[in-house]
Amino acid sequence: MVTPAKLALFRLLPSIDELLHSEPLQPILVRQGRAATLEAARAVLEGLRARIAANEMTEAQIAGAVDDVPREIEERLKTAMAYSLRPVINATGVILHTNLGRAPLSRAALDRIVEVSQGYCNLELDLETGKRGKRDIHVDRLLAKLLAGTRREVATIVVNNNAAAVLLTLNSLAEGGEVIVSRGELVEIGGSFRIPDVMAKSGAVLREVGTTNRTRLADYEGAVNERTKLLLRVHRSNFEIRGFTQQPPLEELSDLARRHGIPLMEDLGSGDVFDLRQVGVHGEPTIADSLRAGVSMVTFSGDKLLGGPQAGLITGVHDLVAKVRSNPLFRALRADKMFHAALEATLLAYLREDYDTLPVLHSMRLTEEAIDQRAQHLTHRLHISTVGLNVEVLPSRSVIGGGSAPGSTLPTRVVAVSSPHLSADAIAEKLRAWTPPIIARVEAGRTLLDLRTVEPEQDAILFAAAKSLLR
Ligand SMILES: *Cc1c(COP(=O)(O)O)cnc(C)c1O
């Protein structure tokens, strides 16, 4: 039952229509659009109605609240219309963190995306002839130069990601036939990328050989038959097999493939151009290593160790790449101009040996001493300005991640933060709530900040966030 007195109170509220036509709402309508403003206005009025219905407001209070309505609407819209995909500070020390967007792009790659995408570009136009061109030639040209040392004539095409590259290559080269893979390489990468499942979707039949820990050349040889279309080697991206193990070297596998006139394909996963042995990481083959060993077709990601945008690159001998390109699936999986622009800039950095401009390589090449210096500085500043927070520098390991170099880590120094009043998880949660959100690592009851993956300019943000933990 609504009493006449209450009805009078409700009447103090403006109608939606009055509100939308009121002076203060005009700039908000222009900024945020009619639909969102209308929704926010309805919600604010609904809130006031509920409070009036619950006898929570006097006439004077309602009058004040009505004056405040435009501001309330604006506040609501600030949250509702804010970006949900946001930059964060990666203090985990995991360089290629799939949940955090993998490789950060270089300045040059970002500039290229803007320059090429803000207007029109010659993505598929040959400027000399004026005829239709191919979007892959921009990347193809640079990768051919980078791999010139292998003395193999290769071509490259680009698709949406490496999962697409594997699917497309298998489908193009082996549909209806058999593909021989070692049982030690039937990997799952995560996000439901499993070699047996991708194989099934490609229309090729998986022919497993060997055992989990040992596969010999003879196992491959024994499985070759008239239906065999491809030999496949898969990089064990996220795990290692140790102990009593065996795997034929790529050279032997490629010899076998050649003798039978079957191509050898390798899913490299990360597929780096830069030789990681220079930063003390072993067991991560370069693209050139594979081609030199005789592999006819490699696939790899653009946003793992290469340090570029999400993409799947298919590099191999011309006739095989041509076959993949002519597959109608290629059209369904192709990459946008932004990927091509960013890839071109990324590959140019390798050609110029300008490695430190690529954030992924820069992070990998940071020395333990350089990280220690920043960690000590941050810790020192926190010691001076905070009481009750335990902060110390500890030796630790940064993880490369992203399914690259399984088990390979880089020595680092982390800032360990703990408090008698807050659990490590609670500290991590508070850091995540910071603007920008800070993602830390929690280990053995401590919250760890690894500055290897943090820009030096962001150290000040870590300081402010850590200081605020006491409040
Ligand atoms: C990461 C990875 C993939 C999937 O690559 P995406 O670019 O994430 O699609 C496939 N194979 C291997 C061996 C990998 O490491």
Q: Taking Cα atoms as reference points, which of 312, 280, 316, 382 lies closest to residue 164?
A: 312
pLDDT of residue 144: 96
pLDDT of residue 114: 98
Instruction: Convert the pLDDT of each residue in 41-61 to its tens digit.
Output: 999 999 999 999 999 999 999
Specify the ligand 1 atom closest to the Cα of 402.
1
pLDDT digits (tens, 9 = 90+) for 391-422: 999 999 999 987 666 678 999 999 999 998 89
Across the range 248-269, mean pLDDT stands at: 97
- Furthest CA-CA distance within the chain: 96
Residues near 196 by Cβ (< 8 Å), separated by ≥ 6? 186, 206
pLDDT attached to residue 448: 98
Best mutation site among 98, 199, 202, 237 for ligand 1 pocket (most ligand atoms within 8 Å of CB) = 237
Domains located in the chain, CATH noted: 4-80 (no CATH), 89-95+363-467 (3.90.1150.180), 107-357 (3.40.640.10)
What residue ranges line ligand 1, CB within 6 angstroms?
Answer: 161-163, 166, 189, 193, 234-235, 237, 267, 269, 301, 312, 403
pLDDT tens-digit readout, 117-128: 999 999 999 999
Q: Output the CA 300–ligand 1 centroid distance in Å.
A: 7
Pocket test for ligand 1, best of 158, 186, 188, 189 (most atoms within 8 A of CB): 189
Atom of ligand 1 nearest to the CA of 165: 9
**Among 97, 100, 159, 162, residue to substitute to test ligand 1 (most atoms within 8 Å of Cβ):** 162
Task: Determine the pLDDT at residue 271.
Answer: 84
User: How many angstroms separate the CA atoms of 299 and 164, rounded?
Assistant: 10
Q: Give the DSSP H/E element, type plus range, for residue 366.
A: none
30, 46, 58, 62 from 6: Cα distances, Å: 35, 15, 10, 12
The protein residue with its alpha carbon nearest to ligand 1, atom 11, reads 269
Å from CA of 404 to ligand 1 middle: 9
pLDDT digits 0-9 by tens, 290-299: 999 999 999 9
Residue whose Cα lies nearest atom 12 of ligand 1: it is 269
Q: Which residue has the higher pLDDT, 281 or 311?
A: 311
- pTM recorded for the entire structure: 0.91
Give how far the C-alpha of residue 301 lies from the chain's centroid of Cα atoms, to the nearest Å: 10
Token pair listed for 360: 């992924």
Number of CB atoms found within 10 A of residue 355's CB: 17
Give first-to-last CA distance, the chain, whole Å: 47
Q: Tokens 């061109």 label which residue? A: 133
pLDDT of res. 406: 63
Helical H segments across 230-367, by residue range? 250-260, 287-292, 318-325, 328-333, 337-351, 359-365
**Amino acid, single-letter form, for residue 341:** A
DSSP string, 15-28: PHHHHHHSTTHHHH
Can you tell me the mean pLDDT for 143-158? Answer: 94
| Assigned token pair, 208 | 């497993």
Cα three-residue angle 27-14-25, rounded to 5 degrees = 0
What lies within 8 Å, CB to CB, of 96 at 6+ separation is 102, 103, 303, 304, 305, 360, 400, 401, 402, 403, 404
